[in-house]
Amino acid sequence: MDIIQNAINGQRVTSKSSNKVPVFNPATGEQSAELPLSSVDEVHAAIEAAKAAAPAWGDTPPLKRARYMFRFNELLNQHADDIAREISKEHGKTHDDALGEVARGIEVVEFACGIPSLLKGDFSRNVGPSVDTVADRKPLGVVAGITPFNFPAMVPLWMYPVAIACGNTFVLKPSERDPSAPMLVWDLFKEAGFPDGVLNVVHGDKQAVDALLDHPDVKAISFVGSTPIAEYVYKRGTDAGKRVQALGGAKNHMIVMPDADMDKAADALMGAGYGSAGERCMAISVAVPIGDKTADALVAKLKPRVEALKVGPASDSDAEMGPLITKAHQDKVLGYIDEGEKAGAELVVDGRGYAPQGYENGYYVGGTLFDRVTTDMSIYQEEIFGPVLSVVRAQDYGEAVKMINEHEYGNGTAIFTRDGDAAREFADKIEVGMVGVNVPIPVPVAYHSFGGWKRSSFGAHGMYGPEGVHFYTRLKTITTRWPGGIKEGAVFTFPS
């Protein structure tokens, strides 16, 4: 049985903790590894290693830091298949889906390779007589990241490449459900030649999270997970004086206008609703067709597609969707389907009781489609995080927009239409952080930034891109005047 190790100060080390949890292969339900949950002292050791490495790394020229990133990027590309296999083994997503995750993480590493340009300051000459001003961005020191199970490689790569390129050192606390992929990526990081202590990885539960949130040497925390935990991390971290970005849950809607291409809209909903078994914060879980005629046409297109959805293990090259992450989460999703049916939603396709032959102990739920869902139902209000798509019929565009704007989450949304006026109005007025027009999963590319609104995000900065550079640095302005420009005598008025 594999024992998952920590990585502290450039070395893999086995935790001394007697508190261990199993790691499962969700496709089979079999245990694949054992994970010790790190003690507070072990978390502190990782922080101390990062603190010791921070001064020299922060003083390393940005161009040299970028060269390390170039080597890391090259190794990630060479080992993308290996990383994807580790993801599939412990998360359950298909190999192609896992490869897509790795690719989106690598994009941020590519962005971080441009750090010499990204950290260029501003300079103004002669802001006053013989007075110049420079604006510069400085690293924070030790920063940390707490990442979710649904993207065990991508989300860490959304955090620490930018943080480290900016001159910080990093402590990563990955999900305990699928820890092998981030450890393989750490091996590649070390192979790229980064100094010891620049990136440390500790595994653990709430005790490890609290140790990071409370430690005075950790200056900033990045988090991705559920909204209740995001809110907790934000409050506890900011109470401790830290800079915090905490990304939470979502309930993403896609409006389908009467003029939309129904085949394209249905295909988009299939990928956005059922890809990765719906375990994405940017999954579309609510389709909002405008008018009953549009709704009837959309459901007619969706029903056979959902029924034909190929669900199976990652080892099946034909599989379009894999299992859910754990037995507990499988039970939770099945419970939501029960609730939706009891509440009166029309169950068009029922994914309960699904199990591929030979994988009866895996954590599978088949594609599920509800029609005539109403906004008072739990399957509408709450994030299911599973392969469940709800169709909520709106009688007009205004009703659909009101529905989205009144929801507590504001992560992502989309509209499918041929009408440029409607699309522009939607993009401008909708109260959601990431908007797609005929794009179902509008995750920004690496040189923009990722971030939702309302209870989908806590903190002022988005993740990666320019927002990431600003989050992981602080502004310093330096105003200078040399003696030759100084007039005799003291000045007691405010400088202007």
Q: Where are the domains of the chain?
A: 2-248+456-478, 252-437
pLDDT level of residue 178 (50, 70, 90 thresholds): very high
Structure tokens at 424: 């522009």
| pLDDT confidence bin for 485, thresholds 50/70/90 | low
Global confidence as pTM: 0.96
Q: In three state form, how does the secondary structure of the chain look? A: CEECCEEECCEEECCCCCCEEEEEECCCCEEEEEEECCCHHHHHHHHHHHHHHHHHHHHCCHHHHHHHHHHHHHHHHHCHHHHHHHHHHHHCCCHHHHHHHHHHHHHHHHHHCCHHHHCCCEEEEEEECCEEEEEEEEECCEEEEECCCCCCCHHHHHHHHHHHHCCCEEEEECCCCCCHHHHHHHHHHHHCCCCCCCEEECCCCHHHHHHHHHCCCEEEEEEECCHHHHHHHHHHHHHCCCEEEEECCCCEEEEECCCCCHHHHHHHHHHHHHHHHHCCCCCEEEEEEECHHHHHHHHHHHHHHHHCCCECCCCCCCCCECCCCCHHHHHHHHHHHHHHHHHCCEEEECCCCCCCCCCCCCCCCCCEEEECCCCCCHHHHCCCCCCEEEECCECCHHHHHHHHHHCCEECEEEEECCCHHHHHHHHHHCCCCEEEECCCCCCCCCCCCECCEECCEECCCCECHHHHHHHCEEEEEEEEECHHHCCCCCCCCCCC
pLDDT at res. 488: 67
The pLDDT confidence band at residue 493, using thresholds 50, 70 and 90, is confident
Instruction: Find residue 199's DSSP bridge partners.
Output: 170
More confident residue, 489 or 260: 260
Residue 174 clears pLDDT 80, i.e. is over it: yes
166 annotated active-site: no
Long-range contacts of 11-18 (CB under 8 A, 24+ apart): 11/196, 12/183, 15/39, 15/42, 15/203, 16/42, 17/42
> Residue 8's pLDDT band (boundaries 50, 70, 90)?
very high
pLDDT at 484 over 70: no
CATH of domain 252-437: 3.40.309.10
Residue 238: pLDDT band by 50, 70, 90 thresholds? Answer: very high
Residue (of 328, 331, 363) closest to 21 by Cα position: 328
Angstrom distances, CA of residue 7 to CA of 113, 144, 413: 24, 14, 38
Q: Give per-residue pLDDT as tens, 272-330.
A: 999 999 999 999 999 999 999 999 999 999 999 999 999 999 999 999 999 999 999 99
Provide the pLDDT confidence category of residue 41 given band limits of 50, 70 and 90: very high
Which architecture, in CATH terms, is 2-248+456-478?
A: 3-Layer(aba) Sandwich (3.40)
Question: Which of 55, 61, 145 lies closest to 108, judged by CA?
Answer: 145
Phi and psi angles of residue 157, each rounded to the nearest 5 degrees, phi first = -70, -15
Name the band, by pLDDT with cuts 50, 70 and 90, for residue 256. very high
Q: What percent of the chain has pLDDT over 70?
A: 99
Are 443 and 100 contacting, i.e. CB atoms less than 8 angstroms apart? no
- Tell whether the model's pLDDT for residue 199 goes beyond 60: yes
* pLDDT tens digits, one per residue of 419-469: 999 999 999 999 999 999 999 999 999 999 999 999 999 998 999 999 999
Local confidence band at 81 (pLDDT 50, 70, 90 cut-offs): very high
Q: With contact defined as beta carbons under 8 Å apart, do 182 and 174 qualify?
A: yes
379, 345 in Cβ contact below 8 A? Answer: yes
The residue among 124, 198, 156, 194 whose CA lies nearest residue 480 is 124
Q: Is the separation of the CB atoms in 247 and 215 below 8 Å? A: no
Active-site residue among 33, 99, 213, 281? Answer: 281
